Amino acid sequence: MDPFKIHESIEHMTIATKRVPFERIVRVIGELAECASAQGLIGGQVVDIYSEVTSDVGLDQLEFIHIHKTASLLEGSVVSGATLWVNDHEIVKLRKFARFIGLLFQVVDDIHYVEKSSQELGKTAGRDMLADKTTYPNLIGDFAEKLSREAQE
Average pLDDT, whole number, for the chain?
Answer: 85
Q: Is the pLDDT of residue 52 over 70?
A: yes
Please name the residues in contact with 148: beta carbons below 8 A apart, sequence gap of 6 or more. Answer: none
Identify which of 67, 36, 61 has the alpha carbon closest to the alpha carbon of residue 49. 61
Q: Where are the domains of the chain?
A: 3-111
Q: What percent of the chain is predicted at pLDDT more than 90?
A: 39
- List the beta strands (DSSP E) in 11-130: none
More confidently predicted of 2 and 30? 30
Q: What percent of the chain is predicted at pLDDT more than 70?
A: 97
pLDDT tens track for 59-106: 899 999 999 999 999 999 999 999 988 999 999 999 999 999 999 999
Q: What is the pLDDT of residue 90?
A: 96
Q: Is the pLDDT of residue 3 over 60?
A: no
- The yes/no answer on whether domain 3-111 falls in CATH 1.10.600.10 is yes
Identify which of 133, 127, 134 has the alpha carbon closest to the alpha carbon of residue 58. 134
